[in-house]
Amino acid sequence: MSRVRLPLAALSLASVSALLLAGCSQSTDASKTSGNTAASVAAATGAKPAPFSEGTVKVALVRQSGAGDYFEQWGNGAKAQAKALGIDLTVYDAQADNAKQATDLSSAINSGAQAIIVDHGFPATIQPEIDKAVKKGIKVVVYDVETSTKGVVSTKQNDASMAQAVLDVMAKEVGKGAKVGYVNVAGYAALDKRNTVWAKEVAAQGWKQQFKVGKVTDSTATDNVPLVSAALTQHSDVTGVFAPYDELAKGTVLAVQNKKLQDKVKVFGADVSNADIQNMTADGSPWVATAGTDPSAVGAAVVRTTALELAGQLNKPSVEFPAVAITQDFLREKKIENMDQLREALPALNLSQVSTADWISNVAH
Amino acid sequence: MTTTQSTEVPTQAAIPPATSTAVRVQNAVIKYGFIFVTVALFLYFALSEGSFRESATLLDTLRYVSVAAILGLGVTLTMAVGGMDMSVGAVAGLGVSVAAQTMVVHNQIGAVAIVAVLAAGALAGLLNALLIVVLKIPDMLATLGTMFVIQGSKLILVDGQSITPGMTLDDGTTAPGKFTDGFLRIDRGTILGVPISVLIFGALTIGAWVFLARTRWGRVLYAIGANPEASRLAGIRVGAYRALAYVLSGVLASIGGLILASRIGQGDVSAGTSQLLEAVAVALVGTSVLGRGRPNVWGTALGAVLIGIITTGLTIKGLPYYTQDVVEGAVLILALVFSFTLSKRRST
């Protein structure tokens, strides 16, 4: 037997050494190809300030989750911008495991990073670590995180501008004094902000709100169909429905189609993704307008904000990314089918004017 | 590495196995192979990445694996009696919800929350014991069932919501309590620079080792795992001991839950779910340490440290989490080869 056994044992160890070698070669590959988005880079003209003039700058990106269309594109944008700036970006992805995000953040603090970007997360979980980082003199930039720590730069998508952009379109489409419906849920910070804008717009336009329904579940789109259908049965005379979150808008679209009201009722949504574009451009879709930010551009802009903060040139505690209105007519006219085509047709999505300087090579188109 | 040894394969089987160099080398590989892999990986990361060497990083690595390790100790106990506990992750998650409910909604102090969480863990263990020992359901299936029941009932308890300090309750009032500072110290505090959760991990490892390897009860558990029928004939109350293993596993899992709750600082409904597979993995990796080929406490602890080294090291190297999964999986498979293929061959 021993003739068979020893080679097997040797094989096991050999496979470990192979594993180690694979580890080495992959890590160099990863750093070369980390920013493989299709973004073109606008060359920098100015001289780099410190610390960028002194060599590679280490930045950690600590994410609650990097999964899903939106977060993947956000991450790609961030990586591409980091590469263009010569930043050595280490990405920690907790895969929605909040306990892991806490230890990830702790590792990032110890890793010698000069700045840390925190993308989402429970304040109760990450607040003490953010305090620690600031105390250690690390620059901290948060995206969509409520934090009370002084010295932290807060970045977020501007939800008020998102609602306003869609409601401006809605005001033109349905006119003053129209009967309207509303699909929204209270208790989510982003949706609450959109709600404030809605309340103002309803008053300003003299709209008569006939119903307000909505809930958020594991399958929000499907679960809102019966709610909106019931509301439409009672109030089939509305001419516009505002559903300021794409899952709510998808459910509303299905409900309007179920009730065969697509010629009379227009849906105004929010957010934009590949799936949303398909939904809006489909034949007979009542979804006539939405507003959104480009996740990839947002990720890149957060990295640029971090770079400015590191160079001591930001000089403000928060940066907001404005949303852009996108109409069904525009999508159909330009034959836009996905986010890539949308980015090309709508340069305002690129946030190329946000957090930039002459020494920053901007990855925006 | 040591693969050069393979040239010493004897050309004929006539050499007595006990004295042959090949067999001795092979035994050494089986016995120390895994420790060698751990040390090698550690050195590799320590030499190639400066920040990996820092004591803060190493303590963070231990802090990160402490939950999976403690859950793995529970799995080890149930594996010792020939079983398996698939509910440890769910029980840890239940602990997070119970801790949040006790402190945030019922405004109790941290000590009350700790008692409530441990009681919940013991109850979950009793439920497993009832299903397995009394109702004779196979262990894997029974604990899989309790896993779902616990995950679901935990959500019923909190109405599907994460419990956060200051949240609005069903009756319209604001939650009166918060996670107390003392409770938050479990994971966030340190003693002499060492995180308290790491000290808990160390203490439980020693405690579980003494119990399993140095007491009569521990030997009985292994005896039951090796041959339940012979144990029964020898006059051992097999059912009672198996029940004990599951209750201890439940309590250990709830201690993991306490650490998670302290780390997250709110009643995160998804907490614990990701811990199950890591806990089972470290217990399985542990079977290969020192060539035991059976569940053992030091093996589980070392397995957890190894997983921690891999996760931290590869993250610092900049590899995304899915490549880490591949490496962790490969290490697990390798450990199983050590544990099953090689040591089984040796015993035949």
The domain spans of chain A are 52-151+295-321, 159-292
Spatial CB neighbours of A242, under 8 Å, sequence gap ≥ 6: A166, A167, A170, A180, A181, A182, A183, A184, A198, A268
Beta strand extents in A272-342 (DSSP E only):
287-292, 318-321, 324-327
Supply the DSSP symbol for A43: P
Decide if B318 and A104 are in contact by the 8 Å CB cutoff.
Answer: no
Asked if the domains A52-151+295-321 and A159-292 are classified in one and the same CATH topology, the answer is yes
Six-digit token string for B8: 């010493």
Interval A145-171 mean pLDDT:
92
The pLDDT score that the predictor gives to residue B343 is 65
What is the Cα–Cα distance from B89 to B72, expressed in whole angstroms? Answer: 10
Interval A266-291 mean pLDDT:
93
Question: A interface mutation test: which of B2, B259, B276, B306 has the most A CBs within 10 A?
Answer: B2
For chain A positions 193-232, those within 8 Å of chain B (CB to CB) are: none
Please state the three-class secondary structure of A165-226 as a single string.
HHHHHHHHHHCCCCEEEEECCCCCHHHHHHHHHHHHHHHHHCCEEEEEECCCCCCHHHHHHH
Spans of all domains in chain B:
44-347
What is the Cα–Cα distance from A231 to A235, expressed in whole angstroms? Answer: 6
Percent of chain B at pLDDT exceeding 90: 57
The pLDDT score that the predictor gives to residue A4 is 43
The pLDDT score that the predictor gives to residue B115 is 97
Six-digit token string for B162: 């994460």
- Are A362 and A39 in contact by the 8 Å Cβ rule? The answer is no
The strand order across the sheet containing A266-268 reads: A208-213, A179-183, A240-242, A266-268, A287-292, A324-327
Percent of chain A at pLDDT exceeding 70: 88
The pLDDT score that the predictor gives to residue A190 is 83
Backbone φ and ψ for B242, nearest 5 degrees, come out as -65, -40
How far is B33 from chain A, CA to nearest CA, in Å?
Answer: 8
**Bigger pLDDT: B301 vs B16:** B301
Look at residue B5 and tell me whether its pLDDT is greater than 50: no
- Class level of CATH domain B44-347: mainly alpha
Q: Return the closest-CA partner of residue A291 out of A253, A321, A334, A255.
A: A321
What is the Cα–Cα distance from A223 to A158, expressed in whole angstroms? Answer: 27
How large is the ipTM?
Answer: 0.79
| Terminal CA-CA length for chain A | 66
Interval B97-122 mean pLDDT:
94
| Terminal CA-CA length for chain B | 28
**Bigger pLDDT: B210 vs A365:** B210
Look at residue B12 and tell me whether its pLDDT is greater than 50: no
Decide if A12 and B334 are in contact by the 8 Å CB cutoff.
Answer: yes
Fold exhibited by the domain A52-151+295-321: Rossmann fold (3.40.50)
Q: What DSSP line would sit under B37-84, residue for residue? A: HHHHHHHHHHHH-GGGGSHHHHHHHHHHHHHHHHHHHHHHHHHHTT--
CB-nearest to B22 from A6, A90, A128 is A6
Interval A172-196 mean pLDDT:
90
Assess A18–B contact: CB distance below 8 Å, yes or no: no
Look at residue B345 and tell me whether its pLDDT is greater than 70: no
> What does each C-alpha distance from A122 to A23, A127, A172, B165 come to in angstroms?
32, 8, 39, 12
Task: Provide the 10 A C-beta neighbour count for residue A329.
Answer: 10
Look at residue A103 and tell me whether its pLDDT is greater than 70: yes
Assess B321–A contact: CB distance below 8 Å, yes or no: yes
Interval A39-53 mean pLDDT:
78
- The tens digit of pLDDT for each residue in A311-350 reads 999 999 999 999 999 999 999 999 999 988 998 899 889 8
Q: What CATH number is given for A159-292 in this structure? A: 3.40.50.2300
Which residues of chain A lie closer than 8 angstroms to B51, CB-CB? 110-112
The pLDDT score that the predictor gives to residue A17 is 52
Predicted structure pTM score: 0.77
Interval A86-96 mean pLDDT:
90
Place of tokens 């061959």: B345
Backbone φ and ψ for B316, nearest 5 degrees, come out as -65, -35
The pLDDT score that the predictor gives to residue A117 is 97
Amino acid in the structure at residue B346:
R
The pLDDT score that the predictor gives to residue B85 is 96
Place of tokens 């190329």: A352
Percent of chain A at pLDDT exceeding 90: 61
Q: Return the closest-CA partner of residue A336 out of A364, A294, A297.
A: A294
The pLDDT score that the predictor gives to residue A66 is 83
- Are B244 and B78 in contact by the 8 Å Cβ rule? The answer is no
Burial of B60 from C-beta contacts in 10 A (0-12 / 13-18 / 19+): buried
- For residue A51, whether the previous peptide bond is cis, meaning omega lies within 30 degrees of 0, is yes
User: Which of A215-229, B49-63, B267-281, B330-344 is least confident?
Assistant: B330-344
- The tens digit of pLDDT for each residue in A107-137 reads 999 888 999 999 998 888 999 999 999 999 9
The pLDDT score that the predictor gives to residue B35 is 86
Spatial CB neighbours of A25, under 8 Å, sequence gap ≥ 6: none
The pLDDT score that the predictor gives to residue A364 is 67
- With cut-offs at 50, 70 and 90, classify the pLDDT of residue A174: very high
Look at residue A201 and tell me whether its pLDDT is greater than 60: yes
CB-nearest to B30 from A9, A99, A111 is A9
- Nearest residue on chain B to A61, judged by CA atoms? B318
- With cut-offs at 50, 70 and 90, classify the pLDDT of residue B142: very high
Name the most confidently modeled range: A229-238, B29-38, B315-324: A229-238
Amino acid in the structure at residue B295:
P
- The tens digit of pLDDT for each residue in B81-100 reads 999 999 999 999 999 999 99
**Bigger pLDDT: B338 vs A98:** A98
- With cut-offs at 50, 70 and 90, classify the pLDDT of residue B283: very high
Question: A interface mutation test: which of B11, B34, B37 has the most A CBs within 10 A?
Answer: B37
Which region holds residue A146: left if phi is over 0, alpha if psi is between -120 and 50, else beta? Answer: beta
Amino acid in the structure at residue A31:
S
- Are B246 and B128 in contact by the 8 Å Cβ rule? The answer is yes
Look at residue B181 and tell me whether its pLDDT is greater than 70: yes
